């Protein structure tokens, strides 16, 4: 928290807000993409969380996860 306040003291608060919101958006979008991708070795039978939406693929070779 001190690091955030120290950074906010040097930059305008609007820049800090943009960076924080962008980071949260990137993590959220990346998590959705990772959960909807093919599972890595050892994760094939794991269920994805309920809050991750299904993303449909146009490729007929992709199977439903």
CA triple 62-37-33, angle to 5 deg: 130
Place of tokens 């820049």: 15
**Could you tell me if residue 2 is inside a domain?**
yes
**Could you tell me if residue 58 is inside a domain?**
no
* Cα 2 to Cα 7: distance, rounded to the nearest angstrom: 9
**Could you tell me if residue 3 is inside a domain?**
yes
**Could you tell me if residue 61 is inside a domain?**
no
Q: What is the pLDDT of residues 9-45, one digit of tens each?
A: 577 888 889 999 999 999 999 988 887 777 667 777 7
Q: Is the pLDDT of residue 65 over 60?
A: no
Tally of domains in the chain: 1
- C-alpha dihedral sign at 34, 39, 43, 47: positive
Range of the domain at 13: 1-52
């Amino acid at each position: 928290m001190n690091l955030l306040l120290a950074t906010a003291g040097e930059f305008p608060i609007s820049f800090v807000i943009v960076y924080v919101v962008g980071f949260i958006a990137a993590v959220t979008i990346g998590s959705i993409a990772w959960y909807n991708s093919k599972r890595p070795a050892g994760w094939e039978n794991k269920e994805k969380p309920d809050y991750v939406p299904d993303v449909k693929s146009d490729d007929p070779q992709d199977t439903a996860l």
